[in-house]
Structure 1
């Protein structure tokens, strides 16, 4: 019976050891200020998953230990009981302190990293909100499709909106609101542009997109 219990504990022990090694190798330093919100969220989910697995494996080993302890208590033969107790002690004493210490350290590191990530995200969101609130209340420049006026328009838009620390999609919305023209398919063009533009800086190199008479606002 005890051999079966020992055998059942091996997979959980191996998984726990591997996971502890994974946690040791993880970069849990303070987040880089250039990390996107999506990357921070991915890191948070990864940390949560590691903590969940650590608790699962430790819980599994705890259940196995309880099962073995109950088995020992049921032994009526004193010699047999002593043999089982010695066998149990040999297995548990070798790993107990190591697993306990490493588990606690690993969970503490992961939880502290989660706290740091959350604080960083809150700070970034706060700064972003402040930037949005403090966006200059100035008339935005407009562009009517004339290639000759593109550079002047972009320089003004760049200073007024693009330079601000706000999401690209919001910059794009501001940009769309600045475009003028009288083409009938304005909304279709605007949707096409929204799907196509992933980095506003490359717009500077394609003024023809806006010089072809595209109308965003009827």
Structure 2
């Protein structure tokens, strides 16, 4: 074998080796590209899921917030209606006249007078507009006298001079108690709650 043949053989081997390295490099580049594409696809999918979950959470939060606002608005409207009803009842109590006003005032005074059976002198306070009515009613009670005015819808506040007992039997106090005791039922009737 001649030197030229040996050189040619070495060159052929070098070319073959270079071709193998080139093919191996291309294969490795394809693998790297494929892995990168797979990772990129996985990352895109992961981000899409993350964004969808975030959108879902934000939608649920917005919906929850809207429901809460609607509930607060509904409760506010109910509160306003209940306040208007109560104001209307108060107005009707103020406007009560004649026998009905006298009957209710006597009933409240009778209920309070139980506390003052041992008293010689009892002071009665009432609404300024009811002064004449109270004078007329108290004519039937020994030791009872109108002692002044109270800012109220009607009824009486009764005090014993010896016992320091005070009984508040005003229309206001009766309405407060009745309102609290029946607020749930009133609300149910007004708003058709089941």
Report the TM range for the smaller structure's normalisation: 0.3 to 0.5
TM-score (norm 1): 0.30
Q: Which has the higher contact order (CA 8 A, sep 6+)?
A: 1
| Greater fraction of residues in strand | 2
Max Rg structure: 2
